[in-house]
């Protein structure tokens, strides 16, 4: 009996762990490491509005998962995270007129969270966003 329980728990934890590491390669390149750090930033600073699956809330918080805005507007997206976002933007055909305050993140944190969100929930971006790239983007 005990073995069955332990076995079951082991299998279920493996499934959970696999889900978490699915997106990452086993070798840790700078992008993978940045994504991992970005995941923590996302949990702390973004998730309460944009939710765990990046889908946001219809008409209030735009989606990040499969967001056309994010991929067409790399610089604007970095600027929004760095300085905040006000006014109308169109994401996947829907307009949003929200107000995201500046998050108070440092440039390396902005890069990390950008690398995380551009490589999660079906998003894919091979061109790593660096601290240097973020530092050059002005208000």
Residue of 136, 132, 129, 137 whose CA lies nearest to 41: 129
User: Residue 89's beta-bridge partner residues?
Assistant: 96
Q: Which residues contact 60 (CB under 8 A, 6 or more apart)?
A: 49, 96, 98
Q: Which residue has the tokens 């966003």?
A: 129
**97, 122, 132, 136: which one binds another protein (CB under 8 A):** 97
The DSSP output letter for 58 is T
Q: How far is the CB of 59 from another protein (least distance, A)?
A: 7
What is the C-alpha separation between 31 and 14, in angstroms, rounded? 24
Q: Considering beta carbons, is residue 92 or 106 the nearer one to another protein?
A: 106
Binding residue for another protein, selected from 18, 101, 124, 138, defined by CB under 8 A? 101
17 binds another protein (CB under 8 A): no
Tell me the longest C-alpha to C-alpha distance in the chain.
62
Among 22, 26, 104, 126, binds another protein (CB under 8 A): 104
- In the set 52, 75, 132, 136, which binds another protein (CB under 8 A)? 52
Looking at residues 67 to 96 of the shown chain, list those that interact with another protein (rule: CB under 8 A). Answer: 86
Interface residues with another protein (CB under 8 A)? 1, 4-5, 8, 12, 44-45, 47-49, 51-52, 57, 59-60, 86, 97-99, 101-105
């Amino acid at each position: 009996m005990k073995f069955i329980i332990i076995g079951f728990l082991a299998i279920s934890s493996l499934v959970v762990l696999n889900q978490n590491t699915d997106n990452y390669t086993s070798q840790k390149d700078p992008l993978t490491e940045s994504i991992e750090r970005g995941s923590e930033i996302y949990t702390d600073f973004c998730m309460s509005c944009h939710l765990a699956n990046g889908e946001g809330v219809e008409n209030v918080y735009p989606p990040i998962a499969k967001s056309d805005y994010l991929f067409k507007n790399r610089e604007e997206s970095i600027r929004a995270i760095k300085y905040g976002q006000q006014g109308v933007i169109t994401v996947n055909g829907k307009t949003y007129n929200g107000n995201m305050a500046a998050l108070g993140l440092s440039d390396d944190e902005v890069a990390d969270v950008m690398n995380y969100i551009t490589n999660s929930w079906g998003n894919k971006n091979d061109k790593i966003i660096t601290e240097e790239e973020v530092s050059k983007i002005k208000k």
